[in-house]
Chains A and B, each alone.
Chain A
């Protein structure tokens, strides 16, 4: 039991080490700087620049966060401050359900609904052309996919704010919204940030749904209606040919190592914040 426990605690390190071992061949001949900031991606001639993919990921994640954060915060405020506990009994299972829907299904809904919507209505409205497979489509799908985690974690943080604080504020004559704005949110701020960072890291690594709607063109996007090619999509799309081109597999595993490192640091930061929040309450 002890050895199993130690093993499972070390999985993260084993993963990082395994991926590092596999990505060493490419790190041996190319400096990391060039790999991360070069824009030319031609595996067959040995050029592996991740910059377009990193930018693609950042654009898509940015749009997702921009959409999801206000919606999720308002929803959390409504569910934990305004509505009673009876509504939460209904909404919690639904949010869990939203979290359980597989990402391919989200991707399919994106292809069926959001892509045509952008192609036929949103892009013409702004007087441009877009195939619909774009940063915006990826961002909207990702936003929906990170709703559950942000709502779930921030509801828990809101619940941890002592009721006495709210009562004190209300007793001073503050309105409910003033209480939320000046007391609850201020108290819950670190936890809410942690929730957002958790959502961010989820969006960062999400693969299939984004792969299906983001267009996958290896170019740095210049607007939300441009196609993007996020890092996870790159990894998933090229598994077939990666063993036939020299260094390709090494480059892709380096990409997953980069992804792992970014997500790990996001997660570690937000978990530490959440542990602090929990400790403050006791």
Chain B
């Protein structure tokens, strides 16, 4: 009896200790980013583009990368919505509930979700070679939209699946077509969940570096055309950290703080949204 009790105690404290370790790691990472970043943070970082000699420690900021990242992730999110919403509506409303095509699509999204972003980058690069595109904002947008497509689709699918069948039946009974039901009933009912999915995908898109390194390139100016290269925050962090100068490395810390804050804001907003946009939701 004593041995069992001791074993129980030992393992209970082991599991508790592991939990503490994991959450301390998270806290430690956030603390490192904030502590390191805040001392190098200034207004110029977010309002100026790199001036001449920026990478040697002269004046400037990373506005080019902030805007580049927002454009890139925004464009990619938009493209991904255009594909994922119809696909999800199709597999949930048009095809039969447990049909082969629905199962196959879900499975392939799950598998795509695990494909490393560098592979998306390499694939995006081959597409660009195929169409004769140079590194450009457009190339980056297409690649990142492929990267976030499975994340967004699976997240939207989870909420659309939860829409009660009775609601669909009621809509059909009133004579609505499938398209009307899909657009006017299902998307409204699932709106909070869809918003969350979109935000999660946006966050994933803005933080990814490996997929844009081939495809979006890097530049010191604010992107003004889809066919020009665009800077992104993750790559700005990566390049600045790679320089030997402490001032420039400091800016990498500040850039990381900016990127992490964007991610934190997205995460908080998407939590807050879960309860909102419920005006049209039938409980």
Contact = CB atoms under 8 A, between A and B. Distances in A.
Interface string B216-246: 0000000000000000001101100100000
Interface string B1-38: 00011011001101111110111011011001100100
A192 interface: no
B267 A74 contact: no
A212 B241 contact: yes
Interface in A204-253: 204-208, 212, 232, 235-236, 239, 252-253
B240 to A, nearest CB: 10
B44 interface: no
Interface stretch (A18-26, A34-42, A47-55, A131-139): A18-26
Interface residues of A, number: 80
Contacts of A101: 29, 207, 260, 263
A96 B7 CA distance: 32
Given A2-B94, A22-B126, A207 B118 contact: yes
Interface string B92-122: 0011000001001101111111111111111
A104 interface: yes
Contacts of A256: 118-119, 122-123
Q: Which of A1, A105, A176 has the most CB of B within 10 A?
A: A105
A260 interface: yes
Contact of B29 (A5, A11, A106): A106
B207 A201 contact: no
A70 B267 contact: no
Interface string A264-282: 1011100100010000000
A91 B109 contact: no
Interface stretch (B83-91, B158-166, B167-175, B275-283): B83-91
Given A18-B127, A97-B26, A100-B267, A264 B11 contact: no
A82 B12 contact: yes
Best-surrounded residue of A97, A107, A268 (most CB of chain B within 10 A): A97
Contacts of B119: 15, 19, 205, 256, 259-260, 263
A129 interface: no
A160 interface: no
A207 B237 contact: no
Given A104-B237, A263-B119, 17 more contacts: A7-B83, A9-B101, A11-B112, A11-B146, A11-B149, A15-B123, A75-B18, A82-B16, A102-B259, A103-B234, A107-B241, A176-B12, A178-B7, A201-B114, A204-B116, A235-B122, A271-B107
26 contacts: A4-B87, A4-B90, A5-B90, A5-B101, A8-B87, A11-B112, A11-B149, A12-B115, A19-B123, A19-B126, A21-B126, A74-B18, A81-B15, A97-B264, A105-B33, A105-B256, A107-B238, A111-B241, A178-B7, A208-B209, A208-B238, A232-B210, A260-B115, A267-B110, A267-B115, A268-B111
